[in-house]
């Protein structure tokens, strides 16, 4: 039998609701109560309106543009309707697009894995060995609060070929050739950017995972200790399953952000050398603002939006899963 | 656990902190070095500091208006997002209507929307309005993600206030609007403050919208940074000075909001 569980002490019994409404009517007077009731959702209107005009409008315009040949650089390309030709070209014929897409996927997969493993490990260390967590966190959080542009700038300085501080020490320990520089070598530049992203965002994983660890109930752990479980067993069979929703959340949020990565690469390499670091967002930027091929650029921009939207939907489900709302119905 | 493990763990954490902080510290040092020290073959850690770069870049090269623009854009965006977002968050927290969760999802997608995929049409739209190259364009663009952040964060803070408070306020003779404005908002004030600071930080740090929407007059500090890097002879002392001014206030602010940071950055999904 399925029994509905009452949500946050709110009563859904029709009787109670009716009585409450009746109460309001008698207290505020009839029109006052009606106004009060009708007005509340109206408070949403300004917010929604702003987003519709400034974000949804341009977005729909972009979708429309992606079906045309609009270009600011070529003659006679003033927005003739093409149907899905741009998308067909993009998916079937554009090798650079698929190169960028592959790079982006590789970037997201490696960066998110790396940040998660490092961040979780650091969170566990802090959780078990540090009493004054606030101080440690304050210092640890510095990288992720910096503007990504500033992060790009900082690492550009550190990795300069002739006088960069990190370059110097890499050469000192023999990891880098004297004629070589990290950011101008096609083999080392993408791993370098991945490490820089990990430098900036690992603290985020640590912060969230630590919050997760601190919010766990004590009882399962006490029970496990009573049953004679060893620390590794406890970690595998108690800690990890309890943290699973938060792990999913962290991975998704980082994946979405990593997928949109633009600022740091723009400053560090601009997509180069060649197209070695031309992730999707950089490629779209080039199509729109270097080639001024707006129709085709819009089609490729839509691809980014699509992936982010899918990740968003998964994130939303994950949030709900965590709060257990779909499972409010007891078995 | 044993002492050995403990020492090892603390050692690792100290190493982590050093790696996390050294790059920014190096930028700070560079901003205080003479050109000779900054470009030395062997990294210079001890030197006689100079403060010449700060006045040079902010006064002589007139980067000061950029600081002002950044402050203006970030504060007005924050105010606008709070003004529109807080009432919306209240409705989400306290009222039920059809399509509520779908609308909430819409707010999430606007927060996550990749700037690169809407910035071109936004540029065209703002050109039609004649507001490109003004701070207003950036303010509106930044409001798109900050507004959603406010809605998501404040919904959680309002939901934390027990419903009995609402009823008590109504009993005391407040109208529903009075209850919202004079009772609930003050109760949610700590969360409100944290949200505001976070909005400010996000706007201050944003690059792509500002970079595309303004070219000269309305440039913010982040937009000014790429202009300082030239293929030949970048003046790193001045670059570093700008970078420090762009990041130091944010580091200070983040200390204030640390308690609510988890919540803000996970869209209210995790309460720190």
**Domain ranges for chain A:** 1-43, 85-327
SS3 A3: strand
Which chain A residue's Cα is nearest to B227? A267
Q: Which residues contact B129 (CB under 8 A, 6 or more apart)?
A: none
Distance from CA of B59 to the nearest CA of A (A): 21
pLDDT at residue number A192 = 95
Q: Which helix (H) or strand (E) holds B203?
A: helix B189-205
Two structure tokens written together for B76: 């007005």
- With CB atoms and an 8 Å threshold, state whether A27 touches B13: no
The span from the CA of A248 to the CA of A318, in Å, is 7
The span from the CA of A134 to the CA of B196, in Å, is 21
Task: Report the complex ipTM.
Answer: 0.90
**pLDDT tens digits, chain B, 272 residues: what are they?**
578 889 999 999 999 999 999 999 999 999 999 888 888 888 888 888 888 889 988 888 888 989 999 999 999 999 999 999 999 999 998 888 888 888 888 888 888 888 888 898 898 889 888 888 899 999 999 999 999 999 988 998 998 899 999 889 988 888 888 888 889 999 999 899 999 999 999 999 999 999 999 888 788 999 988 888 777 777 888 889 999 999 999 999 988 888 888 888 887 777 76
Q: Find out if CATH 1.10.3720.10 is the number for domain A85-327.
A: yes
The span from the CA of A282 to the CA of A151, in Å, is 17
pLDDT at residue number B145 = 92
Which chain B residue's Cα is nearest to A126? B13
Q: How confident is the model at residue A7 (pLDDT cuts 50, 70, 90)?
A: very low
pLDDT at residue number A5 = 44
- Distance between start and end Cα atoms, chain B: 27
pLDDT at residue number A19 = 53
pLDDT at residue number B180 = 87
The span from the CA of A110 to the CA of A104, in Å, is 10
**Domain ranges for chain B:** 1-50, 63-265
The span from the CA of B156 to the CA of B152, in Å, is 7
**Which comes out higher in pLDDT, residue A249 or B67?**
B67
The span from the CA of A175 to the CA of B237, in Å, is 27
The span from the CA of B175 to the CA of B242, in Å, is 50
**pLDDT, chain B, mean:** 89
Backbone region of residue B143 per phi and psi (left: phi > 0; alpha: psi in -120 to 50; beta: other values) = alpha
- With CB atoms and an 8 Å threshold, state whether B85 touches A47: yes
Two structure tokens written together for A254: 């980082």
Residues A278/A99, Cβ–Cβ less than 8 Å: yes
Give A253-312 as a DSSP string.
HHHHHHHH--HHHHHHTTT-STTTT--HHHHHHHHHHTS--HHHHHHHHHHHHHHHHHHH
pLDDT tens for A125-142 read: 999 998 888 889 999 999
Q: Is the dihedral of CA A262, A263, A268, A271 positive or negative?
A: positive
pLDDT score of A329 more than 80: no
Residues B87/B184, Cβ–Cβ less than 8 Å: no
- The residues with which A68 forms a beta bridge, in sequence order, are A81
Residues A157/A183, Cβ–Cβ less than 8 Å: no
Two structure tokens written together for A287: 């199509």
Give B81-149 as a DSSP string.
HHHHHHHHHHHHHH---TTHHHHHHHHHHHHH--HHHHHHHHHHHHHHHT-TTSHHHHHHHHHHHHHHH
pLDDT at residue number B210 = 93
Task: For residue A61, give the nearest of B83, B121, B170 by CB distance.
Answer: B121
What CATH number matches the domain at B63-265, 1.10.3720.10, 3.40.50.1100, 1.10.10.10, 1.10.760.10?
1.10.3720.10
Residues B215/B133, Cβ–Cβ less than 8 Å: yes
pLDDT at residue number A116 = 97
Helices B3-31 and A148-158: crossing angle in degrees, nearest 10, is 90
B145 closest CA partner among A43, A310, A51, A318: A51
- With CB atoms and an 8 Å threshold, state whether B226 touches A260: no
pLDDT at residue number B85 = 94
pLDDT tens for B218-241 read: 889 999 888 887 777 778 888 899
Q: How many CA atoms lie within 13 A of B229 on its CB side?
A: 20
A208 closest CA partner among A147, A131, A129, A127: A127
Mutate to test the interface with B, among A19, A23, A36, A55 (most CBs of B within 10 A): A55
Q: Which range, of A34-38, A262-266, B176-180, B257-261, averages the lowest pLDDT?
A: A34-38
Q: How confident is the model at residue A324 (pLDDT cuts 50, 70, 90)?
A: very low
Instruction: List CB contacts (< 8 A) between A308 and chain B.
Output: 112-114
Residues A176/A86, Cβ–Cβ less than 8 Å: no
The span from the CA of A25 to the CA of B211, in Å, is 54
Whether A43 and chain B come into contact, CB under 8 Å, resolves to: yes
Residues B150/B203, Cβ–Cβ less than 8 Å: no
The span from the CA of B228 to the CA of B239, in Å, is 6
Backbone region of residue A194 per phi and psi (left: phi > 0; alpha: psi in -120 to 50; beta: other values) = alpha
Give A122-136 as a DSSP string.
HHHHHHHH-S-HHHH
A residues 272-311 lying closer than 8 A (beta carbon) to B: 281, 284-285, 288-289, 294, 297-298, 301-302, 304-305, 308-309, 311
Q: Is the dihedral of CA A144, A147, A149, A151 positive or negative?
A: negative
pLDDT at residue number A2 = 45
- With CB atoms and an 8 Å threshold, state whether A154 touches B24: yes
A304 closest CA partner among A89, A113, A62, A64: A62
Whether A207 and chain B come into contact, CB under 8 Å, resolves to: yes
Q: What is the DSSP letter of A40?
A: H
Task: For residue B208, give the nearest of A263, A294, A322 by CB distance.
Answer: A263
Distance from CA of B269 to the nearest CA of A (A): 6
pLDDT at residue number A145 = 92
pLDDT score of A16 more than 70: no
pLDDT at residue number A194 = 96
Distance from CA of B53 to the nearest CA of A (A): 16
The span from the CA of A277 to the CA of A189, in Å, is 7
R_g (Cα) of chain B, nearest Å: 23
Average pLDDT rounded to a whole number, residues A99-105 = 93
Chains A and B: how many Cβ contacts under 8 Å?
Answer: 269
Give B148-196 as a DSSP string.
HHHHHHHHHHHHHS-HHHHHHHHHTT--HHHIIIIIIHHHTHHHHHHHH
Instruction: Provide the 10 A C-beta neighbour count for residue A17.
Output: 12
Q: Which residues contact A280 (CB under 8 A, 6 or more apart)?
A: A100, A101, A103, A104, A259, A300, A303, A304
């Amino acid at each position: 039998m399925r029994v509905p569980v009452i949500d946050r002490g709110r009563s859904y019994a029709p009787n109670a609701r009716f009585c409450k409404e009746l109460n309001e009517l008698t207290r505020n007077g009839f029109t006052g109560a009606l106004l009060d009731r009708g007005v509340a959702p109206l408070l949403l209107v300004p917010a929604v309106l702003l987003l519709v005009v400034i974000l949804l409008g341009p977005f729909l315009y972009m979708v429309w543009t992606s079906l045309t040949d609009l270009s600011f650089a070529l003659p006679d390309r003033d927005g003739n309707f093409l149907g899905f030709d741009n998308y067909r070209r993009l998916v079937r014929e554009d090798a650079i697009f698929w190169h960028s897409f592959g790079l982006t996927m590789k970037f997201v997969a490696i960066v998110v894995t790396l940040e998660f493993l490092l961040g979780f490990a650091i969170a566990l260390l802090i959780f078990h060995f540090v009493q004054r967590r606030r101080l440690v966190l304050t210092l640890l959080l510095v990288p992720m609060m910096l503007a990504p542009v500033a992060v790009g700038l900082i690492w550009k300085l550190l990795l300069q070929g002739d006088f960069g501080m990190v370059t110097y020490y890499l050469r000192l320990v023999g990891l880098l050739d004297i004629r070589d520089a990290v950011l101008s070598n096609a083999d080392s530049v993408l791993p370098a950017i991945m490490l820089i992203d990990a430098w900036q965002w690992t603290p985020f994983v640590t912060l969230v995972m630590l919050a997760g660890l601190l919010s766990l109930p004590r009882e399962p752990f006490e029970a496990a200790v009573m049953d004679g479980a060893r620390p590794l067993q406890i970690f595998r069979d108690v800690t990890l399953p309890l943290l699973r929703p938060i792990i999913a959340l962290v991975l998704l949020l980082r994946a979405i952000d990593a997928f949109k990565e633009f600022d740091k690469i723009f400053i560090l390499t601009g997509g180069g050398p060649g197209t070695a670091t031309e992730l999707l967002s950089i490629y779209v930027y080039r199509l729109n603002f270097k080639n001024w091929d707006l129709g085709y650029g819009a089609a490729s921009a839509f691809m980014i939006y699509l992936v982010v939207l899918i990740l968003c939907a998964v994130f939303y489900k994950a949030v709900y899963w965590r709060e257990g709302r779909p499972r409010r119905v007891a078995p | 656990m044993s002492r050995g493990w403990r020492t090892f763990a603390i050692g690792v954490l100290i190493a982590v902190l050093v790696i996390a902080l050294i790059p920014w510290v190096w930028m700070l040092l560079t901003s205080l070095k003479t050109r000779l020290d900054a470009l030395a073959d062997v990294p210079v850690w001890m030197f006689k500091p100079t403060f010449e770069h700060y006045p040079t870049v902010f006064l002589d090269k007139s980067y000061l208006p950029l600081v002002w623009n950044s402050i203006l854009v970030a504060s007005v965006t924050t105010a606008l997002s709070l003004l529109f977002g807080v009432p919306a968050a209240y409705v989400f927290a306290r009222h039920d209507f059809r399509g509520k969760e779908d609308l909430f999802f819409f707010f999430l997608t606007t927060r996550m929307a990749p700037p690169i995929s809407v910035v071109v049409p936004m540029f065209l739209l703002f050109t039609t309005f004649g507001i490109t190259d003004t701070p207003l364009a950036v303010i509106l663009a930044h409001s798109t993600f900050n507004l959603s952040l406010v809605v998501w964060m404040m919904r959680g803070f309002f939901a934390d206030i027990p419903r009995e408070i609402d009823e008590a306020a109504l009993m005391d003779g407040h109208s529903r609007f009075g209850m919202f404005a004079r009772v609930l908002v003050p109760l949610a004030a700590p969360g409100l403050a944290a949200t505001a600071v976070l909005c400010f930080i996000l706007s201050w740090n944003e690059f792509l919208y500002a970079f595309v929407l303004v070219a000269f007059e309305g440039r913010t500090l982040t937009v000014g940074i790429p202009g300082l890097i030239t293929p030949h002879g970048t003046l790193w002392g001045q670059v570093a000075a700008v970078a420090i001014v762009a990041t130091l206030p944010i580091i200070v602010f983040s200390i204030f909001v640390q308690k609510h940071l988890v919540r803000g950055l996970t869209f209210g999904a995790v309460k720190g």
